[in-house]
Amino acid sequence: MIAAIALALLVQLPPAPASGAPPATVPVTPAPPVEAWPALPPYPLPRAANIAEGVGFVRNEVEARRCQPLLTPTEGERLQLPVAILVGRTGQVRQIVPRAIGCPSVEQYVVGYLLSLTRTGTGIGAEASMTPAPGWYQLTIGYRW
C-alpha cells in the first residue's frame, strides 16, 4: 500500500529541469525594516475605520489573560498594535506584518481586519487620491474600552 502511494506521488511530480537550465525564480517579498519601524511613513487613511465590533474581542482576550500586552499604550488607550504595511506597484496592500506585542490572537485579528478593509475598498485605501506609492508604511491600531 505504501509503495503504491509513493509511486502515485512520483507520477505527480513535475520533471526535473534539464541540466544547465536556470532554476525557476520565486519572487520574494522583502521583510519590513523592523529596526526602522518608527521611521516608516504613516499609511494614509481616507477616514477612520469603525472597529467597534473588534473592541469586544480584544477586551475579552485581555481580560481572559490570553493576551499579555508588552507595549505601554498611550493616553486613553488600553491596547496598541503597530503594523507595517507593504504596498505593491499597483497600489494594493500586499502584506501586513504586526509587531509582536504578546497577544497573538489580537495580532492575527487586526491583520485580518486590515486586509479585509484594504481588499474590499471600504475604509482604508478606498479613495484613488489616497493610494500610496509602493513601499513599506506603518500604522498603529489603538483600542479603548
pTM confidence score = 0.69
Condensed to tens digits (0 to 9), the pLDDT of residues 97-127 reads 999 999 999 999 999 988 888 775 444 444 5
What angle, 0 to 180 degrees and rounded to 10, lies between the N-to-C axes of helices 104-120 and 52-63?
Answer: 170
Q: Is the pLDDT of residue 5 over 70?
A: no
Instruction: Single out the residue of 88, 87, 89, 70 nearest to residue 79, CA to CA.
Output: 70
Instruction: Single out the residue of 125, 74, 69 nearest to residue 98, CA to CA.
Output: 69
Q: Where are the domains of the chain?
A: 33-143
Which of the pair, 39 or 34, is modelled with greater confidence?
Answer: 39
* Nearest-angstrom CA–CA distance, 32 and 53: 29
**Three cell numbers at 130?**
489616497
pLDDT at position 143: 85
